[in-house]
Amino acid sequence: MADSTKSADFALDLRGHRIVWSRAIVDVLADEISAAGIQRFLLISSDELARHFDAVGGNDAKRLSGGRFTDVVPHVPEASVVGAVEAARNCDADGLLVFGGGSSLDTAKAVSDRLGLPIIAIPTNFSGSEVTWNFGLTANGVKHTVRNPAVLPKTIIYDHSLLGSLPLDVAVCSGINAVAHAIEALYAPQANPLTQSLAETGIRKMVAGLQELAASKGQSDQAAVLCLTGSWLCGEVLSQVGMGLHHRICHVLGGTFGLPHAQTHTVLLPYSVDWNFDHAAALAQLSGLFPGRSLARGLAELSIRLGAPPTLKSLGLTTAQIPAVARLVLETPVANPRPVAVGDVHAILAQAYAGDLAAK
């Protein structure tokens, strides 16, 4: 097992952005748009969330809106990015305002990557993408990760009141997706004291928040604050380290086989943790997170109890597809604390397909 306490050399480039915390967006948005030097923004959101933005954004912000792009597609296929770029050009936008989750944020980053426009982000779930400078892009059926420091949103506004209408099953998958970012960060090759502290704290905040959210049936402001804090910290960690085997598998399942992003992370994470636990000493510090349960079992039981899908089968994967997924995952090398071969990936997928941890 790797020694997580061993001192290691590292270089850390902290990414700069402005965080506006726990303020109603109607009170701060117009000033933040002005401070960012944006005079005409393109709103990037889903249809439903764009209507919600109209209700909560305020008239001052609406005056600065040049147009909107609502054809956001999960896993950000190239065609949707082309459409968003065209929308930004057509309205002469000098900035992008994102109101939504990971798909909207990644779409905005892809536009920023091509046009050099600054981003203001208002997250409505726990993807954490608002504080990272990488984004997923799917081309020719393959999802790639693009890294560009210039696409890091300039300002992030966290308003926990926006989470009140988030369904519990959506919240748990979004939250466990955030936990997945931090868990892989604990044993990433680039891990350092800052990232490990952020990761552990972010995981604990998110798990506590999800548990309280469930106990209150979504009515607890404190739960929303805990979850949003966990999301922020887990996202900050992801901006500092690389992704590993768990994310690679999820990107193949999503980008190539069309499985939903957050739900796939939620189903797969306990099996990734189970595979790596005895080979990643940093995971041991989370051993008591679920009293009387292993970390892997606790994650599986929590997510299913809160309404998440139980298996990859329930997400639409077939047994016939598993060999192809396993092969594609290791077409290029991937960082992982435990040596992994195609047969090992096949075994992880087969367990997640059957729901072995959930059934015990």
For 17-28, how does the pLDDT look when each residue is reduced to its tens digit (9 = 90+)?
Answer: 899 997 789 999
Burial class (CB in 10 A: 0-12, 13-18, 19+), 318: exposed
Query: By CB neighbour count within 10 A (0-12 exposed, 13-18 middle, 19+ buried), where does 164 fall?
Result: exposed
**What pLDDT score was predicted for residue 126?**
93
pLDDT-derived band at 359, boundaries 50, 70, 90: low
Q: Which of 337, 245, 321 is nearest to 283 (CA)?
A: 337
Residue 6: count of CB within 10 angstroms of its CB = 7
- Give dist(CA 336, CA 348) in Å, integer: 14
Structural contact between residues 281 and 4, judged by C-beta atoms closer than 8 angstroms = yes
Are the CB atoms for 127 and 136 separated by under 8 Å?
Answer: no
267: which residues sit within 8 A by CB, 6+ positions away? 303, 308, 309, 310, 311, 312, 314, 315, 352
Task: Give residue-wise pLDDT tens across range 233-292.
Answer: 999 998 888 889 999 999 999 989 999 999 999 999 999 999 999 999 999 999 999 999
Given this chain, do its domains 18-163 and 168-359 carry the same CATH topology?
A: no
Q: What is the pLDDT of residues 193-233, one digit of tens each?
A: 999 999 999 999 999 999 998 888 767 889 999 999 999 99
Looking at residue 8, what is its pLDDT?
60
pLDDT of residue 5: 42
Q: Given a cut of 50, is residue 354 above it in pLDDT? A: yes
Please give the radius of gyration of the chain, using alpha carbons only, rounded to the nearest integer. Answer: 20
Q: Kindly report the CATH number that applies to the domain delimited by 168-359.
A: 1.20.1090.10
pTM for the model: 0.90
Q: Which of 253, 245, 251, 254 lies closest to 274 in space, CA to CA?
A: 245
How far apart CA 105 and CA 121 sit, in angstroms, is 7
Distance CA(289)–CA(311), nearest Å, equals 22
What does the pLDDT look like over 134-151, one tens digit per residue? 898 999 888 888 989 999
Helix (H) or strand (E) run with residue 20 in it = strand 18-21
Say what the pLDDT of residue 15 is.
64
Task: Give per-residue pLDDT as tens, 100-126.
Answer: 999 999 999 999 999 999 999 999 999
Domains in the chain: boundaries:
18-163, 168-359
Q: Is 142 helix (H, G, I), strand (E, B) or coil?
A: strand
Which helix (H) or strand (E) segment is 60 a member of?
helix 59-63
Given this model, what pLDDT does residue 117 score? 98
Residue 29 has pLDDT above 60, yes or no: yes
Three-class secondary structure of residue 22 per DSSP: coil
Q: Is the pLDDT of residue 333 over 60?
A: yes
User: Per CATH, which fold does 18-163 belong to?
Assistant: Rossmann fold (3.40.50)
How do residues 152-193 score in pLDDT, each as one tens digit? 999 999 999 888 778 888 999 999 999 999 999 999 998 999
Span 50-62, mean pLDDT?
89
Render pLDDT for 290-319 as a digit per residue (tens, 0 to 9).
999 999 999 999 999 999 999 999 999 999
Sheet holding 18-21, edge to edge: 18-21, 155-158, 119-123, 95-100, 41-44, 65-69
Place of tokens 């899908």: 309
Distance of CA 162 to the CA centre of its chain: 17
**At residue 1, does pLDDT exceed 60?**
no
What band does 32 get if pLDDT is binned at 50, 70 and 90? very high
